[in-house]
Amino acid sequence: MRRHKSFNTEGELRDYLRSMAPAHAYHSAAYYNHPRAPTMQEKDWLGADLIFDLDADHLPGKFSTYGEMLANVKVEIIRLIDQFLLDDLGFREKDLDIVFSGSRGYHVHVRDERVRGLKGPDRREIVDYLLGTGLDLEHVITRSTAIVEGQKGAKTAGVWRIREFTDSGGYGWNRRLAHYIANQLEETGRRDDKTAKEFLKQYGLDSRTAGMVLKKIRDPDILNRIRDQGLIELSGNIERFLKNMLSGTIDQFRVDVAGKTDEPVTADIKRLIRLPGSLHGGSSLRVTPLTRTQLETFNPLEDAIVFSDDLVRVLVTRPAEVELKGKIYRISEGAGTLPESVAMFLMCRGSAEYEP
C-alpha cells in the first residue's frame, strides 16, 4: 500500500499511476487541510462525501451467471438512488456521482456540502433509515374512522390509517408499507377460492370470515384506497387478518423494500474508495463514472471493457467461464490464444498467465 499521497493536478496523478501501474487505485472520500501528512491527526479532517456502496454480497439469493448478478445489482442501485437518495432524502441528481466499481457493484458519492460535515453516528442514522431499522407499526398505523366510497355510495367505516398521507399520497416508509399491504392483499386475491381461503385460515380466520375477507381484497377500490390514501377498511375481520399477517412478515417487508448498502462504508468518515477511471485489478474492468441517465442503459460487460479483441497467448491454469461483450467463453486448462479482453479478465482473476 502506498498511502498519504496527494497531487496538485490531474496530470500529476496520471503520471504517478503510469509510473507504477498499480493493480488497484483508491482515493479518500474525506477532505483534509494537509492530505499528504503522515498521520491522520496531522491531516486535519475537514469533512467527507457520503458514500453508498452496493455489490452482490448485499443482495439475497444466488445468481447463475456474472451477467445476471450485475443486472440485479443495477436494479437495486437504481432503486436506492431514485426512491431513497433523490425522493426520500431529497438530494439533487447533480450532487450524486455514480460509479460502477469495476467488479460486482456500484458506488454513489453524495457531494452535497450539507452532509459533508456529518460525523459517523449521524451517517449511521441515514443507514438505519435506509434499512428501516426500528420500524414500529404502532407508530406508523393508527385506528380511526373515515368516509369511504363504495359501489353503494359513501359510508363511514373503521379504518387503519397509515400516517403521513396527504391528498397527493404518502411518502417514505409509510408509502412503502401501504404499497406492501396492498400488494400482499392483491396477490392473495389472485389465488383461486379454495387456495386463497386455506391461505387466509393460517392467519386465524374461519371459512366464513375468510370468504368475506377474500371478497374485500378482490375489490380494486379498496386496494387503491390503501395505495393512494393509506386507508385500510377493516370490515369483514380484515383487521385481525392484517395484524396476524404483518406480525409475521414485517421483517421480510424491510428486507424486500429496504435500501441495500454496505453499512460500514456509509458510516465511515475517512473511507478509501475506488478511483473512478482506474482499472479494477480483480477484473480488468474500468471503474466507470456514470450519470443517472447513463446508468439506465449501462452494461458493464460491454461498456466497462477497455481491452481489445486482438488475440494474445496465455496459459490457462484453471478452467473458467467468462461472459464478456455478449459472448460466453468456456475455457479449459492449457496454453492457447484468447481475445485480449478475455485474457486480461482471466489473468486478473488468477486463472491464467501471460505467455510472451
Catalytically annotated residues: 53, 55, 262
Q: Residues near 133 by Cβ (< 8 Å), separated by ≥ 6? A: 127
What's the rounded Cα separation, in Å, for the pair 296 and 303? 12
What's the rounded Cα separation, in Å, for the pair 155 and 160? 15
Is residue 225 packed enough to be buried (19+ CB in 10 Å), middle (13-18) or exposed (0-12)? buried
Asked if residue 193 lies in contact with residue 245, where contact means CB atoms within 8 angstroms, the answer is no
The HSE-up count of residue 158 (CA atoms within 13 Å, CB side) is: 8
What's the rounded Cα separation, in Å, for the pair 98 and 276? 10
The CA dihedral of 53, 59, 63, 66, to the nearest 10 degrees, is 0
Asked if residue 345 lies in contact with residue 324, where contact means CB atoms within 8 angstroms, the answer is yes
What's the rounded Cα separation, in Å, for the pair 353 and 71? 29
Asked if residue 255 lies in contact with residue 261, where contact means CB atoms within 8 angstroms, the answer is no
Give 163-213 as a 3 state SS string: CCCECCECCHHHHHHHHHHHHHHHHHHCCCHHHHHHHHHCCCCCHHHHHHH
Q: 53-89: buried (b, 16+ CB within 10 Å) or exposed (e) per residue?
A: bbbbeebeeeeeebbebbeebbebbeebbebbbbebb
